Copies of this chain bind each other. A is one copy, B any other.
Amino acid sequence: MTYRAPVSDMLATMRHVAGLDRLIADGLAPELEGGVAEAVLDEAAKFATDVIAPLNRVGDLNGSKLKDGAVTTPPGWKEAYKAWAEAGWNALPAPEAYGGQGLPTLLQSACIEMWNSAAFAFALGPLLTVGAIEALYAHGSDHLKETYLAKLVSGEWMGTMNLTEPQAGSDLNALRSKAERQPDGTYRITGQKIFITYGEHDLTENIVHLVLARLPDAPPGTRGISLFLVPKYLVNADGSLGAHNDLRCSGIEHKLGIHASPTCSMAFGDKGGAIGWLIGEENRGLACMFTMMNNARLNVALQGVAIAERAYQQALAFAHERKQGATLDAPKGAPMSPIIVHPDVRRMLMDMRAKTQGARAISYQVAEALDRSHRETDEVRRKAASERAAILTPIAKAYATDIGIDVASTGVQVHGGMGFVEETGAAQHLRDARIAAIYEGTNGIQAIDLVTRKLPLSGGEAVKALIAEMRGIVGEVERANNPGFGHAATRLGAAVDALERATQWMLATLGTSQADALAGATPYLKLFALAQGGTGLAKKALATRSEAEGTGDLATARFYAEYIATEAPALELTVTEGAGAIADAAAVFAA
């Protein structure tokens, strides 16, 4: 079962939920006028199906392998990467000054979803390069930009992010890697990093590592961390590759999933120190990291959507083919029907479909807000868009990756016994999906970020604006008076009410008891996602219904409201009245 990009739903979500039509109407995406988005997505879809999708199982079976410090990617991966970069896909969102196409994040997001649906472990590498380009473009010196950016944009070289150390994961305060100033303005980097995605591989000639480390006189904690560019091979003045830098891959992990993505332990400075160049200012490394944080988290959200879409397509195809049992109204002795006729199988598939499209709706909204935050000329509107992106980013990251696991697991279930057999491929999606809820800030960290840093933006007005927008959609659903919406208006209205009350509680409680607020952070994030996803699907259904193009959108919006968003009032209760149970847990775990 191969992958076909859901171009039609992607476009409908971009246009009607994320607001691409309005972005173009506002003159903020002139390069997408005249159907350019459609054309780009069609090309990307073809590439994803023809070139990347066939890598997925090969990558899982073979994995990337480490031998004598060198990592070999699975058969065919190097060729596919080269073709992909040469076709210009790596350069899509990058700055034009360095050979990029500067296209909006919204369009790039749909493409990122496609690459990840086609082969998650393949698409992951270039996402790290995107992060490196962003940090370098925003904070790098002219020299560093001239030397590295064009080759990173073209995809000739790839980039990595070296943050984690054995004792420093979610808490970067504990970071120990060292950087010492040299007379020539460079630095000598020493330290051990773990969980470095694509830290070593054979896809490109050079690898540009971005590394967090401390200067000898740095203050303790996260205010004493600096960011360095540390290339695998030093680059000569003429751009050719010079000596191998003092860094190596000392091991790769044996993981549950994404076997083809080499997760490396990196040793810097075994022979005295790897040569590195400062990015941005000394001790301001974390600020540089935050530059790319929103985009990186959005990209991981898109991985959640992507794996869910792939799992849904595979389960749907299986349910159309596999015959077991007759329909309820079949005469005795009737032949078996495809299992898709059975109500519970339909329920599973609708659940997969609705969660996937709901997560897509939220994620693409983040992308549009990021575009607007960069492109709006009016300062007030820029700020509003920026805050909107800031609020929705942790929601997209945590919700989309949670449903990625959930949908992939349901996909296994639809397959029955065949789903547990690796040959079928359904199980791989579950294994691959599991990482996205962990990396780029665990989903628990996302919930804390939402509650403590994002809700208070503009004194709570930013989140209230989002809730008002949802309420407007609920009103439209009511007024549409379309029986196809079923109980959607009531359910979504209840979800938005629940979100509003829980938000008021959160804003009040943050000032009185942070522990109580944090106890409810994860259920609060989910509640937000249900309201945002449910209204997003309703908005799409309202738009495509009038265009008579979306027969499935109405049923999907209804299902989301009646089967998924129904949980919202329960989550409100947990948020507003559940802190005591977590306080009690202290005694349970003290023993």
Tell me which residues across on chain B come within 8 A of A444, comparing CB atoms: 342, 344-345, 348, 413
Q: Is A430 part of the contact surface with B, judged by Cβ < 8 Å?
A: yes
Q: How far is the CB of A427 from chain B (nearest CB, A)?
A: 4
Q: Does A346 contact B (CB under 8 A)?
A: yes
Which of chain B's residues have a CB closer than 8 A to the CB of A554?
A: 584
A195-B420 Cα distance, complex, nearest whole Å? 10
B residues near A173, Cβ cutoff 8 Å: 325, 336
A347 near B: Cβ within 8 Å?
Answer: yes
Asked whether any CB of chain B lies closer than 8 Å to the CB of A588, the reply is yes
Classify the interface of chain A: helix, strand, loop or mixed.
Answer: helix
Interface residues of A in 534-591 (CB under 8 A from B): 551-552, 554-556, 558-559, 562-563, 566-571, 573-574, 577-578, 580-582, 584-589, 591
The minimal Cβ–Cβ distance linking A330 to chain B, given in whole angstroms, is 11
A577 and chain B: residue at smallest CB distance: B487
Cβ-based interface call for A164 (8 A): yes
Contact across chains for B555 and A587 when beta carbons are under 8 A apart: yes
A241 at the A/B interface (Cβ < 8 Å)? no
Out of B323, B430, B559, B580, which one reaches A585, CB within 8 Å?
A: B559
* Copies of this chain in its oligomeric complex: 2
Cβ–Cβ < 8 Å partners of A521 in chain B: 343-344
Number of A interface residues at 8 Å Cβ cutoff, please give it: 101
Give Cα A570 to B527, complex, Å. Answer: 13
Known: A413-B442, A420-B435. 4 other contacts (CB 8 A): A344-B519, A346-B582, A554-B584, A562-B577
Provide a sorted-by-A list of 25 A–B residue pairs whose CB atoms are within 8 angstroms.
A167-B323, A169-B416, A170-B325, A171-B324, A171-B336, A220-B333, A221-B333, A256-B420, A256-B427, A256-B431, A320-B589, A343-B582, A344-B519, A345-B444, A346-B586, A350-B585, A409-B409, A413-B438, A416-B442, A552-B588, A555-B587, A558-B580, A562-B580, A563-B574, A569-B569
Q: List residues of chain A with CB under 8 Å of any chain B CB.
A: 164, 167, 169-171, 173-174, 194-195, 220-221, 253-257, 316, 319-320, 323-325, 328, 332-333, 336, 340, 342-350, 353, 405, 409, 412-413, 416-417, 419-423, 427, 430-431, 434-435, 437-439, 442-444, 447-448, 484, 486-487, 491, 514-515, 518-519, 521-523, 551-552, 554-556, 558-559, 562-563, 566-571, 573-574, 577-578, 580-582, 584-589, 591
